[in-house]
Structure 1
């Protein structure tokens, strides 16, 4: 004698799978957003803050002027 296979669930199958995958997608997206925020955005903000805290725009301008980058500004002493 052969044993009967259980009948597959047909009603509500799509709804059950969608619920499972929707929760998984939400968790994945939220996790990805957190990883990006704390792995990329926050270190970038700190780097920009540190750069502009120690930056001297006048010294940068003088160095570029002495290097002859600007066509309309002559180096000092010429």
Structure 2
């Protein structure tokens, strides 16, 4: 009793026909998952922050704290 020879011819193409659609589907699922679990909440957080952000108020607070070297505080 002898063992059957392994089918080597066309093995790569046969394996790719099976694994390539699976890899493609998993990559699409991973990209969609990342988009809706990471990027969309991050975009919403930025939008919420900038709805109430006052750039001049922030600038004046940093100016008073002496952060800028070329801008003098209002008291001088």
Asked if these proteins are the same fold (TM beyond 0.5), I'd say yes
Deviation per CA, 1:17-40: give whole Å up to 9, x if none.
Answer: 111110111011101101110011
Q: How does 1:1-78 map to 2 (within 5 A)?
A: 8-10=6-8, 12-78=10-76
Deviation per CA, 1:43-71: give whole Å up to 9, x if none.
Answer: 11101111111100010001000000111
Distance in 2 (CA, whole Å) between partners of 1:10 and 1:64 is: 71
- Structure 2 segments unaligned to the other structure (5+ residues): none
The list of structure 1 runs, each at least 4 consecutive aligned residues, that deviate by more than 4 angstroms after superposition, is: 4-12
SS at match of 2:33: helix
Distance in 1 (CA, whole Å) between partners of 2:27 and 2:49 is: 31
Distance in 2 (CA, whole Å) between partners of 1:70 and 1:59 is: 15
- Structure 1 segments unaligned to the other structure (5+ residues): none
